[in-house]
A and B are shown apart, each in its own frame.
Chain A
Amino acid sequence: MAIIMKDIKKQYPGTHQPVMEHFNLTIQEGSFTVLLGPSGCGKTTVLRMIAGLEDVTAGSIYIDDKNITNLDPGERNIAMVFQNYAIYPHMTVRGNIEFGLKNYKISKSEIAERVNYVLSMCDLSEYADRKPNQLSGGQRQRVALARAISKSPKAFLMDEPLSNLDAKLRNQMRSEMIQLYNQLGCTFVYVTHDQTEAMTMGTDIVVMYNGKIQQHGSPEDIYNNPANLFVAQFIGNPGMNTLQFSNGGFVGFRPRDARFGESESGLNIKGNVLTCEFLGYDYNITVNTGMGNVVIRTKDRKAVGDQVSIHADQKDLFYFDKNQNRSTEIQTGEVVKVFHVDA
């Protein structure tokens, strides 16, 4: 039940630039794959192409080794949960779930059985005969989930399904979603630009930028082993500090791995404290180094304007070559500026 996208090109009609070209992605069977990336990088496009809601310009998509590129959305045996829930406003909760099932070859009694099962599974039994406008946001979200589950799809596609919920409900739904994934054991493809969601829920993360896959790996992999400068800066809160050498290469370190002080080995820079934000447990301190701003996360409080030196150990340094790809060679040289990928 792997989903394979092969050499996909997508260009929206009426635009001059393709959104993506030569796009290849393999989503493992049973994985919880999260598509993560900044706004406009093409996550939704990828998901909609898998669902069949958007045609591919070139290339093909396979599910279970079967080419589904030209199948209708309803024939692909996948379910999708939309950002705005997309539940039918004129049908009851039960009607919403039945509507989809009626289009498939199953008997009435089976439909009823399935509906009751998913209703109880999603804690919706008591709301079965309500209309969507009588439900809260979280309940609507669950209706959308129940509707998706009822069709026993091969894969669940979700496009930022939690972004319309408030913070508390989002946490709750997040853990419900993880439970659901463990219970159903089928493939989940989940789009988000929220790293926390990606890190906590995903078994696999696909980091995208500008219609290209930057890295595909486990959450730990993505955090500990960024494949390139973009991933390094995009992942983490805040992202990695990166400094450019005069030879064109880069060195980076995580804000949490730096501390105030100086040492023989590793990296040392000096600067003035620009801002000091209290985060509850520790501080985010932005330091102006003269070449640009560096952020460090530490429990030491500093006053604005303080002269500080920052140190990062050799083992915590990441190196990147001229082309911004990760390099294992230790590079040395004079730092010329603090580097930001515009994400």
Chain B
Amino acid sequence: MKKRHLIVRIVECILLCTLFIIYVFPFYWMLISSLKTTFEAISVTPVWWPNKLMWHNYVDAWNQANFLKYGMNSIIISFGAVILCLASSVPCAYAFARMEFRLKKPLFAIVLSDMLIPIQCTFLPIFIMYSKLGWLNTYRALLILFIYSGFTIFFLRNAFMQVNNEVLEAARLDGASELSVMFRVIFPMVKPVIITMALLIFLMRWNDYFWNLALTTNDAVRTLPQAVNAITKVKDGFVTRWELAMAGSTMLMAPMLILYIFANKKIKNAFVYSGIK
């Protein structure tokens, strides 16, 4: 390879830095502002580094947004969604990947339908259905809704299709029952994919704002995103308490950021591979 021209390298460096700043700055600003005083947070000349780091903002934001309660709701709903969704999707994906049956094609189309139908077209009927059942503001409303996810099934099915059929047949010849073929042979072989999937479901449900907004009318089962958003409405006189909003946002995204730091390859690959938004 030829040595790259110096100017080209400088331009490249500038471009990289620009991208870096454009994407890192909002996060830096969120973090640093979460440690400012109210006055510093609204100062006309930006305060790049506060005089004194106001760690207490986190305690205030925690109390203000009632993190304990909404955080519990978030945890219950997102962990519940992971477990329920996998419990229904794994057997389903297995059947679509490994079995032949008459209604396979139409049923598969039904199961993938949510990849085509936007939630903006389905939330209202679901809202009406739930309000008739009296299920608004309940965990079960959200948990049952989150059981089904077409792309989870699609993704797992592709993973199951990669499993070599001969290995499964060898297990059957070894006298293994269908259950032990599933749990002792297939599962260990696709474990990484299932973990990735669990991560993605968790991520999606933790960040979910829309469904939580649409299916709750009071704060019984509201989750963190709504609670954090509520902080921006808190005013001290006419002044928005930005430092609390920033502290809340930081705490809201911290778990995802930590997950992403440890599993960024996995998460990125999953998004590429499934071709979903």
Contact = CB atoms under 8 A, between A and B. Distances in A.
B175 A74 contact: yes
Contacts of B166: 82-86
A90 B167 CA distance: 11
A46 B162 CA distance: 26
Interface stretch (B48-56, B181-189, B256-264): B181-189
Given A13-B100, A82-B166, A90 B189 contact: yes
Interface string B44-68: 0000000000000000000000000
Contact of A73 (B172, B184, B188): B172
A45 to B, nearest CB: 14
A88 B185 contact: yes
Interface in A47-105: 51-53, 72-75, 78-80, 82-91, 99-100, 103-104
B176 interface: yes
B171 A51 contact: no
Contacts of A99: 171, 174, 176, 184
A74 B188 CA distance: 21
A177 B141 CA distance: 62
Contact of B167 (A73, A79, A88): A88
Residue from B166, B172, B175 whose CB has the most chain A CB atoms within 10 Å: B175
Contacts of B219: none
A100 B185 CA distance: 12
B175 A75 contact: yes
Contacts of A86: 164, 166-167, 169-170
Interface residues of B, number: 19
A89 B189 contact: yes
A103 B174 contact: yes
Residue from B171, B177, B191 having most chain A Cβ neighbours under 10 A: B171
Nearest to A74: B175
A177 B193 CA distance: 38
Contact of B170 (A13, A72, A75, A82): A82
B10 interface: no
Given A13-B100, A53-B169, A84-B166, A100 B175 contact: yes
B261 to A, nearest CB: 28
Q: On chain A, which size bracket covers the interface?
A: 20 to 34
Interface string A235-259: 0000000000000000000000000
Contact of B169 (A82, A100, A104): A82
Contacts of B180: 103
A90 B173 contact: no
Contacts of B185: 88
A51 B173 contact: yes
Contacts of B175: 73-75, 100, 103-104
A100 B174 contact: yes
A80 B173 contact: yes
B171 A88 contact: yes
Nearest to B184: A99
A79 B173 contact: yes
Interface in B52-110: 100
Interface in B187-237: 188-189, 191
B202 to A, nearest CB: 24
A52 B173 CA distance: 8
A140 B215 CA distance: 56
Contacts of B174: 74, 99-100, 103, 147, 151
Nearest to B166: A86
Contacts of B172: 53, 72-74
A147 B170 CA distance: 10
Q: By CB atoms of chain B within 10 A, which of A13, A51, A83, A99 has the most? A: A99
A86 B167 CA distance: 4
Given A13-B100, A89-B189, A90-B189, A84 B164 contact: yes
6 contacts: A73-B172, A73-B173, A80-B173, A100-B174, A100-B175, A100-B176
Given A73-B172, A83-B166, 20 more contacts: A13-B100, A51-B173, A52-B173, A53-B169, A74-B174, A79-B173, A80-B169, A80-B173, A84-B166, A86-B166, A86-B170, A88-B170, A88-B171, A90-B191, A91-B188, A99-B171, A99-B174, A100-B174, A100-B176, A103-B177
Interface of A: 13, 51-53, 72-75, 78-80, 82-91, 99-100, 103-104, 147, 151
What are the 8 A-B residue pairs with the smallest beta carbon separation, nearest first? A74-B175, A100-B174, A103-B175, A86-B166, A86-B170, A90-B188, A82-B166, A73-B172
